[in-house]
Structure 1
């Protein structure tokens, strides 16, 4: 279905709860040992944005946003305030934050990504919804002010000329999460003081 390049209201998403989810199958053997298998190669994020509603106007904004997306039909951007930068939450994105490729003298297109590392293990997350104007690119540690463009709808950086062999291509950026509503109904409550609430507003990350 169509994806709407519009971001869910920031003042409401700031109070959301949620984060990454993985799917793991665990089989307990007769011996008491376990066998574990990852059903998903990549994580998927889920959120509940009902916690961010503080006023009746917030509720009205969510209802309008929901109706404009036709419920679960169309995807949209969501700012995960706990994880929206190529660097640490307290930092400012820098050109050398994330390695997105190595030049070979031929390839001109590279997908931006974020690496999560703990000890010797790491996982690379493909970033498809960079924030317009936030992306910075470097070749061999030298920032490139021109000579490249990024597609904000896919996160693919395209260079006018292919980076030379062995040159590290790095990037710094802010990004959104592509999500959709995970329900076709909103359970709205409006009390006598005209204060509104919605029991749950689940969002789920769209993976392609």
Structure 2
């Protein structure tokens, strides 16, 4: 059986693309490099937007990357059902592209945060969370200065009602995110964004204190193989 192909996008300033590609391979998938200036998704089955500081976070985090040529292909593909995961800067890009509602702003402390963070799973019905269970707590690294999720009360209520809040911070909110939101999905559940980094928690050697990030990659590969 041919391995599922997951595209990993690199923008100028992306830091975690190689980590993301390695996580895909460790889960049994084929990682396909995608360059921000390309106009071709190369027929991938899913896309990962990794973290970093695309374009130096100038203007706003993700605001320039949102207009990359590759995004002209990715945005309609995501709206048509292509599974897309964005972590940290990738989450910011998804919000700037209006594939996810709300925005990520400066941490409430105005300080950069880098630590292992407990996160509660709120939804196991997305394309990227099928191997988790609702209520499960996992540990993932966070490393950001602008990770505070904000949205209007109307939007927050809609996210709650539709089951689109996928992760909440547990054991302390690292950035002041409204309603402790660590990650959300679109209504269809194929697009997910979160501030923590699952790609940094997939190997026993360097994933301590957990390898809980593996579940994101096994989830999407299982879904693609069984589709």
Q: Would you say same fold, with TM above 0.5?
A: no
Larger Rg: 1
Structure (1 or 2) with the greater strand fraction:
1
| Bigger relative CO (Cα 8 Å, ≥ 6 apart) | 1
Name whichever structure is richer in helix by fraction. 2
Provide TM-score, normalisation by structure 2. Answer: 0.25
